[in-house]
């Protein structure tokens, strides 16, 4: 099979945005395998999205191209960039979205995308700027220019792990920006004043009980067996989580 291009956006799937992006990718990199990773990543919020992306992107094999567009500043002054981190490629806006991917990588470099044609719309860089760049990477055209200086546009004030909810899935499970492997084995989490113990998975706790567990991509996730954690606990993207020893 050809290279994988994984999409991480807030574009949704039913409207016109993702379909146009995929059309550009198919035309630029025929034979690439395109998969939807997230189409409902935190809308217009690069900071929680950055922790979600770092947990999920590294699941893909080396050589994968990740097109990541959470881009409230589209059409404004923010740069467009390519990042290479541990042999995976990332394309998207320079707004912090790749901060955790870069920080956690053994090796990371970045390039600004400068070849903006006049055909680039002011509001849809996902289609007009990022997708062509991702397609070129997928077909093997690597950046010709030298990478940017180390430290360009970094968000070094952001924490290594984010003690907040970064994503609510369709079942109402709430992912945090905390890597479970870095938490004490017996750690409890406080969310909305409720103290939650760790479990292995849903079927290990009684129905209706709230708990936290290490999800299948390594994040600490808050859930309720046979229920919705978001509604039960009154939590949403951005809600704080405290770690209790």
Which is closer to a second copy, CB of 236 or CB of 242? 236
Phi, psi of 139 (to 5 degrees): -95, 10
State the minimum distance, in angstroms, from the CB of residue 84 to a second copy: 20
Among positions 184, 200, 231, 234, the unique one binding a second copy when judged by CB under 8 A: 200
User: Is there binding between residue 101 and a second copy (CB under 8 A)?
Assistant: no
Q: Which residues contact 208 (CB under 8 A, 6 or more apart)?
A: 224, 225, 226, 227
Pairing of strands 88-93, 65-69: parallel
SS3 assignment, position 13:
coil
SS3 assignment, position 152:
coil
**In the window 201-230, what residues touch a second copy (CB under 8 A)?**
201-204, 213, 215-217, 226
State the minimum distance, in angstroms, from the CB of residue 71 to a second copy: 10
User: Is there binding between residue 73 and a second copy (CB under 8 A)?
Assistant: yes
Q: Which stretch binds a second copy (CB under 8 A): 10-18, 137-145, 176-184, 188-196?
A: 10-18
Q: Which stretch binds a second copy (CB under 8 A): 74-82, 94-102, 131-139, 140-148?
A: 74-82
Annotate 38-100 with DSSP letters as a single string: ESSS-TT-HHHHHHHHHHHHTTSPTT-EEEEE--TTTTSS--EEEEEETTEEEEEESSSTTHH
Per CB under 8 A, residues contacting a second copy are 1, 4, 6-7, 11-20, 22-23, 26-27, 30-31, 33, 35-40, 43-44, 56, 59-61, 72-76, 121-124, 127-128, 167, 169-171, 200-204, 213, 215-217, 226
């Amino acid at each position: 099979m050809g290279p994988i291009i994984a999409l991480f956006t807030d574009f949704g799937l039913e409207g016109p945005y993702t379909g146009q992006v995929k059309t550009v990718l198919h035309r630029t990199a025929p034979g690439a395998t395109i998969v939807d990773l997230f189409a409902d990543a935190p809308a217009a919020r690069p900071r929680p999205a950055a922790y979600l992306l770092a947990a999920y992107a590294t699941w893909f094999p080396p050589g994968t191209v990740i097109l990541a567009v959470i881009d409230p500043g589209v059409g404004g002054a923010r740069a467009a960039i390519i990042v290479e981190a541990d042999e995976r490629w990332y394309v998207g806006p320079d707004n912090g979205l790749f901060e955790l991917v870069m920080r956690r990588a053994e090796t990371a470099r970045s390039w600004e995308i400068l070849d903006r044609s006049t055909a680039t719309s002011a509001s849809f860089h996902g289609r007009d700027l990022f997708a062509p760049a991702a397609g070129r990477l997928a077909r093997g055209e690597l950046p010709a220019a030298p990478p940017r200086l180390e430290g360009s546009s970094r968000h070094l004030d952001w924490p290594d792990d984010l003690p907040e909810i970064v994503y609510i899935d369709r079942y109402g499970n709430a992912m945090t920006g905390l890597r479970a492997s870095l938490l004490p084995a017996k750690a409890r989490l406080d969310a909305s004043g409720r103290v939650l113990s760790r479990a292995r998975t849903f079927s290990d706790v009684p129905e209706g009980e709230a708990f936290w567990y290490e999800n299948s991509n390594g994040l600490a996730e808050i859930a309720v067996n046979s229920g919705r954690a978001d509604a039960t606990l009154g939590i949403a993207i951005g809600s704080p989580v405290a770690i209790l020893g």
